[in-house]
Amino acid sequence: MILLVHAHPHPRQSVANRALLDAVRNLPGLTVQSLYDAYPDFDIDPAAERARLDAARLVIWQHPIHWYGAPALLKLWFEEVLSYGYAYGEGGTALHGKDCLWVATTGGPPDWYTPDGPHGHEFSAFAPAVKQTARFCGTNWLPPLVVHAAHHIGADGLAAQGAAYRKRLQDWIDTHG
């Protein structure tokens, strides 16, 4: 079972994230939970979210990068769902041993994520927060899928990224049944 937690604040404006989602959403055993559809008022149901997590062996966090990290509702999901005693701390072993895949899209031109570019850093400088959130909860951090310059790579580029994404998940399914 794969749980794909999807967080796009403006789904109708989504191009790259939607293309990635559409490339994988019909895979067998994959459940998509789109947070901004489920919780437009930010009133997350932690128990329901934990039940979804409990059923999954692979957890995917898929979102566009906003201000160098996860959109606010996914951040709130981290805070409210991954609680002490559930995801970390005493007795907090619910996610131990699950795989975790981060799928992120960035919008600007490719050279914006450079020390001299507008974002002042390589993209990797912004990865530790999400990665360590996963690791602190005892998951296995898989190599992330980061699609840069999503507004610039065109339909063919997005199709190629979508196909690569689907292949990765299909391989995971084939291995983990």
**Footprint of a copy of itself on this chain (CB under 8 A)?**
9, 41-42, 66-73, 75-76, 78-79, 82, 118-121, 125-126, 128-129, 132-133, 135-136
Quote the least distance from Cβ 30 to a copy of itself, whole Å. Answer: 25
Beta-bridge partner residues of 101: 60
Nearest CB to a copy of itself, comparing residues 30 and 112: 112
Exposed/middle/buried for 43, CB within 10 Å: 0-12, 13-18, 19+?
A: exposed
| Closest distance of CB 122 from a copy of itself, Å | 10
Residue 140 CB, nearest approach to a copy of itself (Å): 14
What is the C-alpha to C-alpha distance for residues 51 and 81, in angstroms, rounded to an integer? 10
Instruction: Using the minimum distance from each CB to a copy of itself, give the nearer residue, 135 or 152.
Output: 135
- Helices 46-55 and 72-81 pack at an angle, to 10 degrees, of 80
Q: What are phi and psi of 142, to 5 degrees?
A: -80, 160
Rounded alpha-carbon distances, angstroms, from residue 52 to 24, 45, 47, 55: 18, 11, 9, 5
Output 2 or 7, the one with its CB closest to a copy of itself: 7
- Smaller CB distance to a copy of itself: residue 15 or 30? 15
Half-sphere exposure for 140 (CA within 13 Å, toward CB): 6
For a copy of itself, give the closer residue by CB, 25 or 66: 66
